[in-house]
């Protein structure tokens, strides 16, 4: 289901508001426990209407994933579109981009938890990569910023790492995301998980990545 086309074809904002309301339910209650009948009851919408508008719970979850990702990324628009950010050198821009994970961990833990639940739901429901094309396109909307910062860092010599940008992007972002999710309170299942504060670990991992990027590796 094409999210942008779906919204464009909606004659009013009711369905978009419904997606936002259901997204909030997923943030609070999780994805797996919420049945379509539960969602219908919580939103005061007939379950038949939910199936008519969204087809299946799978389609609805994907739409909510796109909605929440887009909504969260827009929180940073003023930062990455600002003149202050544009004037920074490449490695400083890269640092600002990595700080997104610190902000998510300290202020948007429900979103991090949702992303973990989303992945688990997709695996359990055997959702194909093709079905997630629209979702993938949306979660890649930060990639151009990383690519621009990486290229700028090479031009201004603040970044000396020579690995391809895709290799850097996915390695850095996957490791930051995995750590941020692992440090969520509900995922600290071992006593050793609590020995070092999650925020400290995220900051240290960020410093490790930045040190490598501006190091003398060739």
Percent of the chain past pLDDT 70, that is, above it, reads: 93
Give the CA-trace dihedral at 54, 58, 63, 66, to 10 degrees: -170
Residues 78-113 have pLDDT tens digits of 999 999 999 999 999 999 999 999 999 999 999 999
Quick one: average pLDDT of 169-177?
Answer: 97
**Exposed, middle or buried by CB within 10 Å (0-12, 13-18, 19+), for 196?**
exposed
Give the C-alpha separation, 110 to 206, whole Å: 21
Residues 122-132 have pLDDT tens digits of 999 999 999 99
> Residue 13 has what pLDDT?
72
Answer yes or no: are the C-beta atoms of 148 and 81 closer than 8 Å: no
Residues 22-31 have pLDDT tens digits of 999 999 999 9
Place 218 in a pLDDT band, splitting at 50, 70 and 90. Answer: very low
Q: What is the mean pLDDT of the chain?
A: 91
Quick one: average pLDDT of 163-179?
Answer: 96
CB atoms within 10 A of CB 105: 22
How does DSSP classify residue 81? T
Find the helix packing angle between 198-213 and 90-107, rounded to 10°: 160
Residues 64-73 have pLDDT tens digits of 999 999 999 9
Place 2 in a pLDDT band, splitting at 50, 70 and 90. Answer: low
Give the C-alpha separation, 208 to 181, whole Å: 18
* Alpha helix positions (H), the chain: 3-8, 14-29, 36-43, 47-54, 57-73, 77-80, 83-87, 90-107, 109-124, 133-139, 143-155, 165-182, 198-213
- Name the residue with higher pLDDT: 1 or 180: 180
> Residue 6 has what pLDDT?
55
Quick one: average pLDDT of 187-194?
Answer: 92
The tokens for 132 are 């997630």
Find the helix packing angle between 57-73 and 14-29, rounded to 10°: 90
Percent of the chain past pLDDT 90, that is, above it, reads: 85
> Residue 5 has what pLDDT?
57
Residues 42-60 have pLDDT tens digits of 999 999 989 988 999 999 9
Quick one: average pLDDT of 182-187?
Answer: 94
How does DSSP classify residue 140? G
- Domains, the chain, with CATH or none: 61-213 (1.10.357)
Place 14 in a pLDDT band, splitting at 50, 70 and 90. Answer: confident
Answer yes or no: are the C-beta atoms of 176 and 101 closer than 8 Å: yes
């Amino acid at each position: 289901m094409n999210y942008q086309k779906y919204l464009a074809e909606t004659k009013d904002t009711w369905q978009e508001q419904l997606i936002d309301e259901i997204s909030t339910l997923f943030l609070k209650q999780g994805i797996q426990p919420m049945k379509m009948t539960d969602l219908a009851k919580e939103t005061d919408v007939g379950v038949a209407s939910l199936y008519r508008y969204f087809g299946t719970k799978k389609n609805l979850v994907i739409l909510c994933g796109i909605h929440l990702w887009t909504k969260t990324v827009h929180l940073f628009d003023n930062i990455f579109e600002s003149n202050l950010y544009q004037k920074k050198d490449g490695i400083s821009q890269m640092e600002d981009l990595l700080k997104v994970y610190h902000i998510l961990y300290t202020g948007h833990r429900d979103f991090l938890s949702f992303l973990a639940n989303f992945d688990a739901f997709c695996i359990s429901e055997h959702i194909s990569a093709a079905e997630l094309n629209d979702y993938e396109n949306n979660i890649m909307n930060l990639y151009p910023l990383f690519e621009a910062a990486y290229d700028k860092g090479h031009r201004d010599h603040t970044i000396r790492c020579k690995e391809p940008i895709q290799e850097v992007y996915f390695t850095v972002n996957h490791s930051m995301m995995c750590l941020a999710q692992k440090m969520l309170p509900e995922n600290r299942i071992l006593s050793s998980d609590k020995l070092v504060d999650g925020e400290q670990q995220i900051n240290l991992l960020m410093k490790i990545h930045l040190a490598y990027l501006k190091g003398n590796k060739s």
